[in-house]
Structure 1
Amino acid sequence: MSETSVLPQLPQELWRAGKLELAHGATEALTLMRAASAVLGIYLAEIESRGAKDLYGYANTKMWLADVARIAPADAKKVVDRAVALNPTRALDGTEVPALAPATAVAAAEGAVGEQHIDQIIGVLKRIPAHVTVENREAAEKILADLARDGGPGQIAAAEAGLMAWLDPDGAEPKDPEPVQPRRELRVHRRKDGFWKLTGLLDDEAGARTAAAIEAYAKPRPVDEFGQADLRTVWERQGDAWVDLLDLAIASPDQPGTCDCLMLPIVMNAAGEPLDVGRIKRFVTPGQRKALNARDRGCSFPGCQRRPKRCHAHHIHHWADGGLTDLRNMCLLCSFHHRLIHHGDWEVRMAADGLPEFIPPQYLDPLQAPRRNTLHPTLA
């Protein structure tokens, strides 16, 4: 089989391609890679059924694949385990062993899901209690496979909690370990040169949460339209991430805030807090922030699970362009999606029902159908 019959046709001068052509080419290649991995899995499942020792003299399929693919045995084991989970095999007596995740295998064969989706779904299925019926287990797997076609790891993780509550409402027997008082210390002092130094000690849980929060905000910025890359060191990016986290904490609705004393109409809520302040104030008031938190329940971008305290109040019609600081012109966005709206090809607008909806770029959805975030719990 020739190389051109497998790979998508590349433009002769790729540097002339537009962004839509580049995006379509990349997604087509990604689909082919995923579909090819699914085909490899079918072969590996058959080799596993027949026995790599009888076929090729290797102790197991993992060692055979590691040698053929020139990869580490640990990596080969992951590929083989994934293949066996997606495809039916045969036991020593010839009876068929059904696949753990057949619906996921169908999505994988279509190139719709990749290794991360597959491993995540397999992990969820293995955590389902043994007493759950086969029918309910199959239904749960189909839900996850269908979700993975359009969703990311975060959406699958969010769905797991709901599925487990449905499949095993009683849950595992609770344990009552002796509580341990966590050890946490923080020292902040100002140096003579005007800089501040932070030192501290955190328990494992608090340290992991701190590292995860900083890491989330410390990722390098993508190259901008002028070709400028993010040249900050990792330590500088982590320092900037710390400041971003402080800004989010300070922007909490519990923080005190005041309105400029201008004689202009202001819409108040029942408690006398301003909700619509027009152009007299750029930043949201505490009352507006509470209302946004209650309405959006977190980042309003489709598929994002960031909670309200990790979000900014975004002007849909930008303030610099004359936008108003009113609830009908604002939505909650996390830092990443806030930057994406300002600098990417996504668009946000307020729908007729007063909720924000997002228009994807054409390379993601040629029809550009509006999307909403459906992950956040709604008010009862």
Structure 2
Amino acid sequence: MVSLMDRAAQVDLPAYTDDLLGLLMERRRAIAAAEAECALIVAELVDRQAHLELGFRSSVSLLMDRLGVSPGVARGMIRLAAALREMPCTLAALEVGSIDLGRARVLVAARESAPELFAAHEGALVDTIAGLPMSDTARVLDYWVQQAAPEQAERDAAAVHERRRLFVSVVGEMVHLDGRLDPVSGQVVITALGALTDPGNLDPADTRSPAQRRADALTELCRDRLDHGDLPAQRSERPHVVVHVSVEALEGRAGRPCELDDTGVITPEQARMLACDAKVTRVITGPGSQPLDVGRTTRVIPPGIRLALMVRDGGCDVTGCRAPRRWSDAHHVVHWADGGATALDNLVLLCRRHHRMAHEGRGSPRRE
């Protein structure tokens, strides 16, 4: 069998880029024409109830078996085929390659909102989107649906909102987020993340990837809400991140593992970083970690010292970093568990990234 790479090596490809792009566009038009023909074949198979003749339960199962596609893809093919029979302008545009299958599907979705009005406007809509990028195609047809069928547009928007989802799960050493948001909610998230990841506001020495910056921004938004937001109480307490850590671990000696409530074991240095600026509750345990006594919860850094620190530093104290004080932790230069004083001359404001780097030994606070 000749491989695709072998065949490609035998093809006399054009020497000039414009000619090569022309060849690609020609092949794409041929694919669109073939997709139009496939749609007509699928429609005919459905009309003939070929699945009964061949011993399948449904047209969907027939396509799944013979084409190796998923149920969703099979249903989409049948839906497209049925619609294209009632969409002559769209079908003709596919056959000559002036639109592709993706644009045809968007037209099908628009038609379902107002079939009769779509029939009157189909030719103009096809001509309008033929040369547009896909994002603009969707926008044009969204506008058309809102004008042609405003009540249906509202129902469609409500249905989209109902499909919102967010899943949070601990997978191995990481926490996995997976979700979908409606356009309005999604814009809120994009705007908030964008405010914290704008390249113009970043330290020139920042080597994080865009994906890492977005992950850190989401964490900072949640931390800020926990620190300053009016969140509902949980079991009569304001929500907060709980770290279970032994005195030995805080002092840098071997001790019991440090753990978070939901995500499990963290390193002693991560626990020390969190303890730099936190409330601490002393819990004395007996054999088997049985709690014997719970002491009073105290804040590591008193409010007065924190205020003075925020006034003095203004924000993250690392040269070139523009993180404001709202997004910064109070860091003990010499950790309080190591005997360091909770005093201004032993404290510095650091953003979470530089705070983590300080505890990892990858940088030290620098005051100008």
Name the TM-score class by shorter chain.
0.3 to 0.5
TM-score for both structures, normalised by structure 2: 0.40
Greater relative CO (CA pairs within 8 A, separation 6+)? 1
TM-score for both structures, normalised by structure 1: 0.39
More helix by share: 2
